[in-house]
Structure 1
Amino acid sequence: MASFDPLLDKDGVRLTVDDAIATVTLTNPAKRNAQSPALWRALAEAGQLLPGTVRVVLLRAEGKSFSAGLDRQAFTPEGFDGEPSFIDLARRSDAELDAAIAEYQEGFTWWRRSDIVSIAAVQGHAIGAGFQLALACDLRVVADDVQFAMRETSLGLVPDLTGTHPLVGLVGYARALEICATGRFVHAEEAQRTGLASVAVPADQLDAAARDLAGALLAAPRDALIETKALLQGAVGRTYEDQRVAERAAQGRRLRDLAGVGD
C-alpha cells in the first residue's frame, strides 16, 4: 500500500488514506498499545475524518500486541494529565458518569457504519478494551499468536466499550458469558472456529491477508455492498417475513439503479 501523509497522527492513533482504503494504526507498541481516553477520542476523530472515497477501513497495530487493554494509570488517583481519573469519575453524578462513558464509546461505534466495511488485523494480545476494539469492526483477521481476553469482569467491572453486543452475536450467549466471566484467553483456532475471526494466518502474513480481504471487498459494487451489509445487520432484529420484505425492497432499489430508472 502506498504511503501518504496521515490525516491524523496523535495520542497513539494514525489515520492514512489510499483512495478507497483507509488504515487506522495504533502506534504505541512500547506500551503494547494500551488505551486511554485520549486514544478513544483520537479513534472517534479518525472516523469523522474519513473521506467519502473510503469503502474499506483497516485497523492494525504496531508491535507484538494489538492492544493490551486499558492503561491501568486510569485507575490511579492522579490519572492522566488533563483527564479526570476513573476514581474521580466515580464520584460524579449519574448523568455526568453516563456522559463520560458515552463519549469513550464514540471511538468504537463508527466502525460498523453502513457505507464502509471495517477489518481488524489482530496479533498478540487483544485484551479488554483491545478485544472490544477488534469486536467493533465488521471482520477480524488474526495472527496465529492472537490472544483475546475480556478481563473487565475479573476486575469487578463490565465490558462497556460496545463489545458485548457483537460478542454475543458472533459466539452466542453461553460462550460469551463464559469468556467474559472467566477472563480466559481465546486463541486463533477457537477464534476462527467460533466465528470471531474470518481467517487465521502466520503473524508475518497478517497485513497481507488483511489487504487481500480488503481487495476482495472492493471488487463488489459499492451500493450493492452497502445494501447487503444493511440487510445482514438488520436480520437478527427482524422476523423471517420482515427480512423477506427488506430483501425485496433492497433488490428493487438495486434493479432500478442498474436499469437507470429513477424513483
Structure 2
Amino acid sequence: MTSLDSVLDKDGVRLTVEDAVATVTLTNPAKRNAQSPALWRALAEAGRSLPGTVRVVVLRGEGKSFSAGLDRQAFTPEGFDGEPSFIDLARGSDAELDAVIAEYQEAFTWWRRNDIVSIAAVQGHAIGAGFQLALACDLRVVAQDVQFAMRETGLGLVPDLTGTHPLVSLVGYARALEICATGRFVLADEAERIGLANLAVAAEELDGSVRDLTAALLAAPRDAVIETKALLRGAQSRAYEDQRTAERAAQARRLRDLAGLAD
C-alpha cells in the first residue's frame, strides 16, 4: 500500500491518505475537538488537497468526543488570536458578514462531491457545528455513546454551516424543526431509527465497522458509484420525469463506457 502521512496537519485537522482512502481527523481532544475559523479553513484546505485517487473519505475525531461544536471563545470580545471576534463580525456590513459566513461554510460543502463518498465516524458529543459536520458527510456510523444536538437556536442563532438541508432530507421537516428548536439530544438508537445514522454500534466496534463499510464502497467500480451518487443527489430537486431522463442518460454513459465506446 502507498501511505502518505500528514498530507495536511494544522489547526486541529490532520489529513492522511492510504491508497483510495483518505482520513480527516480532528486532533484537539483536550477541547473535545471544538471548532474555530482556523479549523474550518484547515478543513476546506483538506478538501482541496485530496489526491484524485481518493474514493472514500473518513472523518473522525480524536478522544471521547467527535466535536462539541463551536469554541465559545468566538463569542468573547477577544475572540481568537489573529481573528475578528464574532462580536466584531456582527458590526460589519451585510455583504461583509455574508462573505465571512460563506467562507466558513466551505469547510462543510466538499464532503458531498460526487467523486467521493464520505463517512463520519461519530462518538460522544456531536453538538452544533459538530452535528453539522457529521451531517455534511454522505454517511454516518455512530457509537452507542453518541449525543447529537443542535444548540444554535437556544443561543439565539441558527444552524448556518450547511446542516439544515441534510437534516430535513434525512428526518423530515417536522422532526428537524423539533430537534433544532428544542436543542435536545438525539442518542444512538433514535439516530439510527430516524435515519440520521446508517449504523449504530458499540464504541469498540466503531473503527471496524467503518473499515467494513469502506471496503464495501470500494468494491463497486468507481464510475458507477459516481454516477449513482449524482443521480441520488439530484433526485431531491428533480421532477419524476426529469429523474427518469437523468437515469437514462447516466445508464447510456455507463453502457458506452463498458463497451469501450465512451468519448
Provide the TM-score with structure 1 as the length reference.
0.98
Q: Structure 1: which amino acid aligns with 2:113?
A: R
Alignment partners' CA distance in 2, 1:4 and 1:147? 32
Written as runs of structure 1 = structure 2, the 5 A alignment for 1:47-86 is 47-86=47-86
Q: Structure 2: which amino acid aligns with 1:225?
A: V
User: Which position in structure 2 is the counterpart of 1:147?
Assistant: 147
Q: Equivalent residue of 2:66, what SS?
A: coil
Residues 1:201 and 2:201 are matched in the alignment:
yes
Runs of 4 or more above 3 Å deviation? 1-4
Shift of 1:2: 8.2
User: Which position in structure 1 is the counterpart of 2:188?
Assistant: 188
Q: Structure 2: which amino acid aligns with 1:239?
A: A
User: Which position in structure 2 is the counterpart of 1:234?
Assistant: 234
Residues 1:156 and 2:156 are matched in the alignment:
yes
Q: Structure 2: which amino acid aligns with 1:55?
A: R
Shift of 1:70: 0.2
User: Which position in structure 1 is the counterpart of 2:255?
Assistant: 255
Alignment partners' CA distance in 1, 2:155 and 2:206? 31
Residues 1:46 and 2:46 are matched in the alignment:
yes
Q: Equivalent residue of 1:133, what SS?
A: helix
Q: Is the 8 A contact 2:253 2:262 kept in 1?
A: no
Q: Equivalent residue of 2:6, what SS?
A: coil
Q: Equivalent residue of 2:121, what SS?
A: strand
Q: Structure 2: which amino acid aligns with 1:77?
A: P
Q: Is the 8 A contact 2:24 2:58 kept in 1?
A: yes
Task: Give the length in aligned residue pairs.
Answer: 263
Q: Structure 1: which amino acid aligns with 2:197?
A: A
Alignment partners' CA distance in 1, 2:83 and 2:262? 52
Q: What's the C-alpha RMSD, in Å, of the aligned pairs?
A: 1.0
Alignment partners' CA distance in 1, 2:236 and 2:96? 33
Alignment partners' CA distance in 2, 1:89 and 1:118? 32
Q: Is the 8 A contact 2:3 2:19 kept in 1?
A: no
User: Which position in structure 1 is the counterpart of 2:99?
Assistant: 99
Please list every run of 5 or more consecutive structure 2 residues that lacks an aligned counterpart in the other structure: none
Q: Equivalent residue of 1:25, what SS?
A: strand
Shift of 1:54: 0.1
Q: Structure 2: which amino acid aligns with 1:163?
A: G
User: Which position in structure 1 is the counterpart of 2:114?
Assistant: 114
Please list every run of 5 or more consecutive structure 1 residues that lacks an aligned counterpart in the other structure: none
User: Which position in structure 2 is the counterpart of 1:17?
Assistant: 17
Shift of 1:229: 0.1
Q: Is the 8 A contact 2:144 2:202 kept in 1?
A: yes
Q: Is the 8 A contact 2:2 2:19 kept in 1?
A: no
Q: Structure 1: which amino acid aligns with 2:172?
A: G
Q: Equivalent residue of 1:6, what SS?
A: strand
Q: Structure 2: which amino acid aligns with 1:188?
A: A
Q: Report Cα offsets for 1:61-87 as digits up to 9, x if no partner.
A: 100000000000000000000000000
User: Which position in structure 2 is the counterpart of 1:210?
Assistant: 210
Q: Equivalent residue of 1:5, what SS?
A: strand
Alignment partners' CA distance in 2, 1:50 and 1:5? 13
Provide the TM-score with structure 2 as the length reference.
0.98
Shift of 1:262: 3.2
User: Which position in structure 2 is the counterpart of 1:173?
Assistant: 173
Alignment partners' CA distance in 2, 1:243 and 1:180? 31
Shift of 1:4: 4.1
Alignment partners' CA distance in 1, 2:198 and 2:11? 29
Alignment partners' CA distance in 2, 1:155 and 1:213? 36
Q: Structure 2: which amino acid aligns with 1:191?
A: A
